[in-house]
Amino acid sequence: MDDWLTTEQAAARLGVKRETLYAYVSRGLLHRALDADGRRSRFDPSEIDQLRRRQRPEGEFATLVSTRIARPTDEGVYVRGRDLVAEAALSTFEEAADRIWQAGPGESWPSVADPDTAPDDIEVRLPRTAPLMDRLRIGVALASATDPLRDDLSPTSVRTAGRRAVCTMVKALPRRCNPQGGSVADTLWCRLARRQASQRRRSALNRVLVLLVEHGLASSTLGARVAASVRADPYSVITAGLGVLGGRLHGAASAPVHRLLAGAARSGDAASALGEAQRTLGFTPGFGHVTLKRRDARCGALMEALAGAWPTDERLGTVLEVYNLAVDRTEGIATVDYALGALTYLADMTPESGEAVFAIARTIGWIAHALEEYGEEPLRFRFRARYIGD
């Protein structure tokens, strides 16, 4: 830590007093480490500079949260030190979730397989036209209402609640074809797709579920951590995440990709369809990312899986033609939202299905962040408002 800053140096670089610097530490905005003598504090200069860049006039700044869960980069997403792209190629969704949650050996997932006889009770009570995201929210509410131990915030109990929530969310979706397996991905396929599929195609759905479990402190994840900081139960944490995810600029970003691909296939003119989408939306669907600038490794991994699962499908040609056109004419990088929209299009799902896939997958990340946040000081996300009205 020879190049780390002393307290005085860190405070001077930020332009604040020592007391303010340590207030940042107590609120989780900065780390501090002790010198070899165990008496003096040291601060990482890159972290200080990052906070300084985020500062706003009169003390406004974006929050900085320390985490041991994920590190999204242009090279890839690393979760618990593991490459998420490699994880998605080798693990089931359930296995990946348990590793991210650091589950114990005795913990297991409840069955999510569809019953062989009558449809689930939740399906009977909801109209088939109910939006998928509404169904997911109701599923979480039902899981909460039937869990008398939901306020137990011990790690094992929180993980159990997370598994129950995911399984109930999947079962809250209407069944569209007969099930072909008992995993989350298998059951989710029969809830979203109109026809049964090969193992390779269902594996592509499993892969995108794993790829979407976590991507750092996205808006919905911050909402989930704020809920956890006030010691909301795990189901309320998921509900908070779902509320933010419902914004059309977040979880629903794959839907316009699906519609673009369907329009290009109908017209037979990929360039005109892409141009119309850009004119209507003001951006290229599935391209451009808030934090990633050079590439989104998740997109390439999923596109490879789609090519292997639908190798002779003529619709794959439409997916690749639109993709190549956008790459040539768009500055933003291709994101996992493009690949997710392509998957829902190729699988004959509805455009909104991508949002449901995203929500179910990201629930794993929200629970991971809740587990981490429950170990922090409570109520630390208390933002102060600067009144500028009359």
pLDDT digits (tens, 9 = 90+) for 18-51: 888 887 887 778 888 887 777 788 888 888 888 8
The reported pLDDT for the residue numbered 55 is 60
Q: Which residues pair with 83 in a beta bridge?
A: 78
pLDDT at 56 over 70: no
End-to-end distance of the chain based on CA atoms, in angstroms?
Answer: 49
Decide: helix, strand or coil at residue 55: strand
Q: What is the pLDDT of residues 256-282, one digit of tens each?
A: 999 999 999 999 999 999 999 999 988
Highest mean pLDDT among 119-133, 152-166, 173-187: 152-166
What is the share, in percent, of the chain residues with pLDDT greater than 70? 94
The reported pLDDT for the residue numbered 92 is 97
The reported pLDDT for the residue numbered 48 is 87
How many CB atoms are located within 10 Å of the residue 26 CB? Answer: 10
C-alpha radius of gyration, the chain, whole number: 22
User: Is residue 340 within 8 Å of residue 357, measured between CB atoms?
Assistant: yes
The reported pLDDT for the residue numbered 122 is 63
340 pLDDT tier (thresholds 50, 70, 90): very high
- Provide the mean pLDDT of the chain: 90
66 phi/psi in degrees, rounded to 5: -80, 135
Helix (H) or strand (E) holding 202, with range, is helix 199-211
What the chain holds in terms of domains, given with CATH numbers, is: 5-59 (1.10.1660.10), 70-251+352-373 (1.10.580.10), 255-346 (1.10.230)
Average pLDDT over residues 126-148: 92
Q: Across the chain, where does the E strand assignment appear?
A: 5-6, 33-34, 41-43, 70-72, 77-79, 82-83
Average pLDDT over residues 286-294: 89
Average pLDDT over residues 165-185: 92
The reported pLDDT for the residue numbered 336 is 96
Per-residue tokens: 239: 């509900």
Average pLDDT over residues 87-95: 96
Cα–Cα distance, 156 to 8 (Å, whole number): 42
Cα–Cα distance, 359 to 367 (Å, whole number): 12
User: Is residue 137 within 8 Å of residue 251, measured between CB atoms?
Assistant: no
- Matching residue, tokens 């990482």: 44
pLDDT at 170 over 90: yes
CA quadruple 356, 361, 363, 364: dihedral, nearest 10: 170
116 pLDDT tier (thresholds 50, 70, 90): very low
* CA 110 to chain CA centroid, nearest Å: 22
Of 275 and 246, the structure prediction assigns the larger pLDDT to 275
Cα–Cα distance, 175 to 227 (Å, whole number): 32
Average pLDDT over residues 291-319: 95
The reported pLDDT for the residue numbered 117 is 42
121 pLDDT tier (thresholds 50, 70, 90): low
Cα–Cα distance, 196 to 269 (Å, whole number): 30
The reported pLDDT for the residue numbered 338 is 97
The reported pLDDT for the residue numbered 124 is 60
Q: Which of 31-45, 86-100, 117-131, 244-258 has the lowest mean pLDDT?
A: 117-131
pTM above 0.75, yes or no: yes
Of 183 and 248, the structure prediction assigns the larger pLDDT to 183
Average pLDDT over residues 322-341: 94
pLDDT at 58 over 60: no
